[in-house]
Structure formats: structure tokens, C-alpha cells
Amino acid sequence: MSTAQRSREVRFDTAARATFEDAFGKAHPAFAATAAVDELRATQYARLDERGDVYLDYTGGGLYAESQLEEHLALLRGSVLGNPHSVNPTSSASTALVESARAAVLAFFNASPDEYACIFTPNATGALRLVGESYPFGAGGRFLATFDNHNSVNGIREFARAKGAETTYVPLEAPDLRVADGLLEAYLTDVPAGGHKLFAFPAQSNFSGVKHPLDWVAAAQQRGWHVIVDAAAFVPTSALDLSTRHPDFVPVSFYKMFGYPTGVGALLARHDALEQLHRPWFSGGTVVTANVQGDLAVPLSGHALFEDGTVNYLNIPAVEVGLRHIDRIGLGTISRRVQALGTWLLGALQSLRHSDGSPATRVYGPKRWEGRGATVAFNFLHPDGRVVDERYVDVIAAAHRISVRTGCFCNSGAGETAFSVSRETLIGAEFGEGMILDDYIRLVGMPTGGAIRVSLGLVTNFADVYRFMGFAEEFCDLGAVPPDLPPRLAC
């Protein structure tokens, strides 16, 4: 760090924390009302503070409480569980646990079993692939997606293309990275009649934290679209009520909500929408019967048609344990907590200045709390306005034991908008064999390999965001960064 920095006034040092925390508590009485979560953190998540970790990558993955592990382990220790594809006693025990978890998932999202099915998948990506590969795209059909989408949604365009349907993207407006008022309606309306139409958007952006309007669901359905609401980044800190909104398909990953188990997600799907899907194959678990001499394959229906092979029957019961854990804390409490901490962090980050008064950060997406969640994407800036290489940020963050995400977060479209990469910029940027991400960044002229993403969650406390700001302050008056940073291989 430079000499200039050493002479700067340090705002977020350890000694000043109590004063900041006191002022924060007074400014956010709703936060004080969530003190039970601080106690929970001290008992159930003690490993964080014991190890000195500042975990700020909740959009990447949530954290589990010790009680979740204990409850799950006790269940496994006290049971004999067999493959559910049978009727023997151990098989029936597994089936009962899986079906109980399925009912618990539907209840958690207030989804009536008469309206929705819960299909267990390996993760949100697996849920999206099920929809993409089975959707009846065809000539005259369309896949519509917002620029702001995870690549696991973008990948659906390959299924659309293979079946002759067109893909269209709804652009975002910088700097807020939202869709301009009225623009979506034009995209929903301006389509030829006939053909199956699928629209996908995230309830909350995993890049900018923007919460896109859930009113889009009904608006699209009224115009004949099926709608995927990608809720993977939304549901860890916000309530999704499927009795008031009725999207056709909702993918989620449970580890993002409560940390454990990994390897289990779900596709919540309306029964009437599921009936429109055509699976491209059959497998063990998805057929009533099949033969090899007569080319017969009689598909099962409902969730069974979409659960290939053996479901993750030992881990699925841990989903029910996790849902109970969240219910006990209350999603309202979690939302209020991350809102208070997120508002403080957003303001503090934007207030960082170099000694010459120039901004030390650039935040992508909404600068104020309204209509957003607790995911903040930004870059540090050098005093001359250049973006600080995110790989250097990784190095310094690791030295502080701070876990944040850097790069494009698998959200290409939001990244392109944030970094002003246009279609024209992309022309000629041919990605040849053997190239790595660094080559692509150079070709399209991006200022760096991506942004820094801070995301808050279940047990974030004031000390976490305060320690993060102490780290951020080190970038004020930053001189040159070392030239020997590791190459960027993939996003």
C-alpha cells in the first residue's frame, strides 16, 4: 500500500467499531429486534468466529447450523434406509422420508399440492435443464430471457435452437441494471402467433441483487407465455409465496438457503405446465414399464416422470431439517437483518474516497436499497479511475480471511451491461480453441475480469460488514498492483 494511504484517516479500524455499531443499532431498530440471530450465530455457527472467517458469499452458498448436522446424523444413525424404488421395509422408510420432505418443500413455498409438483433435482441447474430439454420448442416458438440471468438459464437457448425456436433477450439499463419500464411488455407482445413460448427471469439477480418484479409472471402468462422464475438467489433471504404468484417453473438449490445438504435442489412446477413437457428419454424411475423387444416405454406422471434414477434419498431428509431451521428463525427476520446490514454496507462502500476525493469504488446496480436484495457487485478503483484487478482483490481478501466472489458470477448478460460490452464490441471476438478467459477479456476490451460480489445472508452480523469495510479501506490510494497475478482460465 502507498505512502499516501498511510497518512489517510482510517475510518473503519477495530477501535471505532463499537461506536459504529452503536450508531447502526440506533439507526436500525428493526435490526436490534433480530438479536436472536446473533445468539444463534454464537452457538450454532461458532466456527465462523473461532476461525476468524468473514463469510460474505451467501449467494454462492449458505451456511449450515450445527443442529442441522446433528439432526440429520441422528436420523441416519437411527434408521435403516434402502433404495426407495421398492416396497420392502427399508425402502418404504426412505420413501416416507422423501415424501415428507417433498410435502415440506411445497408447504414452505405455500404451494398447493393440487397446483404444484415438487421434483427433486441435484441443484437449480438440474431443474432448469429439465425444463429446457423437455419444453416443446419448435419452429415459431420462442425463448425469451432477460440479460440478467444465470448461465444455467442462458443455456436453455441451446435446446430452443436445436428445435428451431428463436431466442430473444430483454436488455438491462445501466447503471441500475433493471429492465426499463414498459420494455418487457413489448417483448412479450411482439411475437408471431402460435408456437410455444417460454420466458425466464431471476426473482433476484445473482450479479446486482436487483429484485425483478414478480408481477411479470401474470403479465407474461396472460400473453400466452410459460414462465420460469429462477428463485435460486432470491429464496435464501426472501419469502416466495406460490399461492399469490403462480409461475410455471421455479428452480431452487437448497444449499443456498441453509447450507446443507449440497447436491439437492428442486423444480417446483405447475401440474398443467408439466403436462406440456416432453421428456427426451426415459430411465429407471420414470416409467410404469418398458420393454426392449417391443419398443414400449410407458411414462409415469407428475414428479416421478422427472426424477431420473434414484433420488438422493439420504440427503433429501436433511432438506426438511433445513426448512424447519429457517422457519424457526423466520424469513421475515432474515430479510430485515440483511436489509439493515446491506443498506449500511452499500452506503459505506460508496462513501470510500481516495485522498484526492475521487471515488474508490464503483457499484453496479441500484445504489440505494429499494427493489434489491443483499447482493452487491462493485469494483475498487485506482485514484486515476482505472478498475483494480479483481485477482489482486482476491489476494488481499484471502489475507483478511474474507470470502467474497470475484468474476462474472456466471451471469454473462448483467456483466456485459455493467462493463458496457455491446453487440458491436463482440463482433470479431472469435473464441478459438485453447483460449482462456483472459484472451476473451482482452478481445472484448473489458477493463478487468469482472466485479467483486459481496452477499449477505442468514447469520451475517455487523462485525462481518464492518471488517469488510476495514479491508475495503485498504484500497484507498492504492498504487500499482503486482504484475504476477494468476491467469484467468474460465468464468
Ligand X SMILES: Cc1ncc(COP(=O)(O)O)c(C=O)c1O
Q: Which residues bind ligand X (CB under 6 A)?
A: 59, 123-125, 150, 152, 202, 206, 230, 232-233, 253
* Minimum distance of ligand X from residue 254's CB (angstroms): 9
* Whole-angstrom distance, CA of residue 301 vs CA of residue 318: 26
Peptide bond into 236 cis (omega under 30): no
- Contact call for residues 456 and 374 (beta carbons, < 8 A): yes
In the block, cell 485498504 appears at 474
Q: Which amino acid is at 272?
A: D
Sequence-ordered strand ranges (E) for 331-404 = 361-364, 375-380, 402-403
**Catalytically annotated residues:** 410
In this structure, the number of other CB atoms found within 10 A of the CB of residue 129 comes to 19
Q: Which of 48, 468, 457, 117 is nearest to 300 (CA)?
A: 117
451 CA to centre of own chain: 16
Q: How far is the CB of 330 from ligand X (least distance, A)?
A: 23
If DSSP codes are grouped into helix, strand and coil, which group holds residue 65? coil
The contacts of residue 296 (CB under 8 Å, 6+ apart) are: 289, 290
Q: Report d(CA 82, CA 449) in Å as an integer.
A: 47
Alpha helices, DSSP H, located in 205-330: 215-222, 254-258, 271-274, 316-329
Preceding amide of 359 cis, omega within 30: no
Rounded to 5°, angle at Cα 333 from 315 and 397? 70
For the CB of residue 412, give the shortest distance to ligand X in the complex, in Å: 13
CA–CA separation, 337 and 340 (whole Å): 5
User: Smaller CB distance to ligand X: residue 409 or 471?
Assistant: 409
The x, y and z cell numbers of residue 179, run together, are 429492465
Pull the grid cell for residue 393: 482483490
3-state class percentages of the chain: helix first, strand second, coil last, to nearest 5:
40, 15, 45
**CA separation for the pair 338, 173 (Å, rounded):** 25
DSSP codes joined into one string, 432-468: -TT--HHHHHHHHT-SSS-EEEEE--TT--HHHHHHH
Cα–Cα distance list, 239 to 233, 330, 439, 457, 487 (Å): 12, 10, 41, 14, 40
Give the shortest CB-59-to-ligand X separation in angstroms. Answer: 6
